[in-house]
Amino acid sequence: PLVLGIETSCDETGVGIVRGTELLANVIASSMEEHARYGGVVPEVAARAHLEALGPTIAAALAEADIGLADVDAVAVTNGPGLAGALMVGVGAAKALAVALDRPLYAVNHLVGHVGADLLDHEAPLETPTVALLVSGGHTSLLLVRDLVSDVELLGETVDDAAGEAFDKVARLLGLPYPGGPEIDRAAIGGDPTAIRFPRGLTRPKDQASHSFDFSFSGLKTAVARWVEQREAAGEPIPLADVAASFREAVVDVLVAKAVAACTDLGVPRLLLGGGVVANARLRELAEERAAAAGIALRIPPLSLCTDNGAMIAELGAQLIMAGHPPSSMDFGADSTLPVTDIQA
């Protein structure tokens, strides 16, 4: 089926078009720059930006795929989780489009969409069961995907800041601009990742029973702040490269350790990465290293499919259709806290 997918859960307005597992178009308009001076995504600003960008983005995706609206067999849209006002823009547009075209509408889960991204433009299909680690500015979630369209379980998630959010907050306290991930990466060049031993959240033995697959990054952020303050109070210079490299190592170490432990504990030798933090080269490097050592097959979609995009939403819609699932009924709404087990509305 030829599916048009709409994604507006955060600051990316994404429209993707797929035919089966073939990627025909993936157009993204981001309002990231508008949020930069606030140091993080401002929900009202994001919603307004979606409203302005969605029409042109749909047109650009149709042009990229070289098709007309009449060629679309079905519409898919993210209905959660995410920012309520931002989600509502996409949901409203998708309903209008589906009604006007008289086509079925599939409302799908954003996090499961990230997993579905891996099916696009791959010779080898995504094998299940697989563990998926999704790391972005809004999420840090570890999933067990037994079946993409019918059986996804949440193994753990962050109890405070998301990993990308930690990068953004620590960048800010180091005087670096938003978004913090790429800035910390740049600052870490030449730095020693073992210079400062920052805490690894929720990895102590006493955390293991109740929080084995949960993450916590706010203690790490506080530790970096305290370390910097103490140096400043002592009148000593801040070794920025060492701080950035040591902080990044602490985040990446925990992410990879928990993901690999999930694979090992559950006997699932497959791991998929997704989300904007996958742009971090050290994360990819450490994941490759430890996955290889543990005999885990690692999959990392191209970055354009790891960050928020409409193609992954279109693909999850296509998978639901190919599995024979009926369309969503028109009375669904945006759900900012949609659980990962609700794959389709």
Contact positions vs ligand ATP (CB under 6 A):
9-12, 82, 136-139, 164-165, 167-168, 179-182, 185, 275-277, 279-280, 307-308
Question: Would you count residue 168 as binding Mg ion (CB under 5 A)?
Answer: no
Q: Which two tokens stand for residue 297?
A: 């097959």
Q: Which is nearer to ligand ATP, 104 or 137 (CB)?
A: 137
**Residue 253's binding partner out of Mg ion, Fe ion, ligand ATP, none, with CB under 5 to 8 Å set by partner kind:** none
Q: Which is nearer to ligand ATP, 116 or 327 (CB)?
A: 116
Q: In 300-341, at which residue ranges do the beta strands (DSSP E only) sit? A: none
Q: What is the Cα–Cα distance from 317 to 260, expressed in whole angstroms?
A: 29
In whole angstroms, the minimum distance from the beta carbon of 280 to ligand ATP comes to 3
Question: Would you count residue 136 as binding Fe ion (CB under 5 A)?
Answer: yes
Contact 32, 22 (CB under 8 A): no
Q: What is the Cα–Cα distance from 304 to 118, expressed in whole angstroms?
A: 11
Question: Would you count residue 11 as binding Mg ion (CB under 5 A)?
Answer: yes
Q: Where are the alpha helices (DSSP H) in 74-217?
A: 84-101, 110-116, 163-173, 180-187, 205-211
Q: Burial level of 175, CB count in 10 A (0-12/13-18/19+)?
A: exposed
44 Cβ neighbours under 8 A, 6+ residues apart? 85
Q: Say whether 122 counts as a known binding-site residue.
A: no
Q: Say whether 31 counts as a known binding-site residue.
A: no
In whole angstroms, the minimum distance from the beta carbon of 167 to ligand ATP comes to 4
Residue whose C-beta lies closest to Mg ion: 11
The single residue listed with the structure tokens 């597992």 is: 21
Q: Say whether 11 counts as a known binding-site residue.
A: no
In whole angstroms, the minimum distance from the beta carbon of 10 to Mg ion comes to 5
Task: Please report, as residue ranges, which positions from 291 to 320 form the binding site for Fe ion (by CB under 5 A).
Answer: 308
Q: What is the Cα–Cα distance from 192 to 106, expressed in whole angstroms?
A: 48
**Residue 280's binding partner out of ligand ATP, Mg ion, Fe ion, none, with CB under 5 to 8 Å set by partner kind:** ligand ATP
**Residue 310's binding partner out of Mg ion, ligand ATP, Fe ion, none, with CB under 5 to 8 Å set by partner kind:** none
**Residue 82's binding partner out of ligand ATP, Mg ion, Fe ion, none, with CB under 5 to 8 Å set by partner kind:** ligand ATP
Q: What is the Cα–Cα distance from 193 to 196, expressed in whole angstroms?
A: 7
HSE-up (13 A, CA, CB side) for residue 57:
29
Could you list the residues that contact Mg ion (CB under 5 A)? 10-12
Could you list the residues that contact Fe ion (CB under 5 A)? 136, 308
Tell me the binding residues for substrate: 134-138, 168, 181, 185, 280
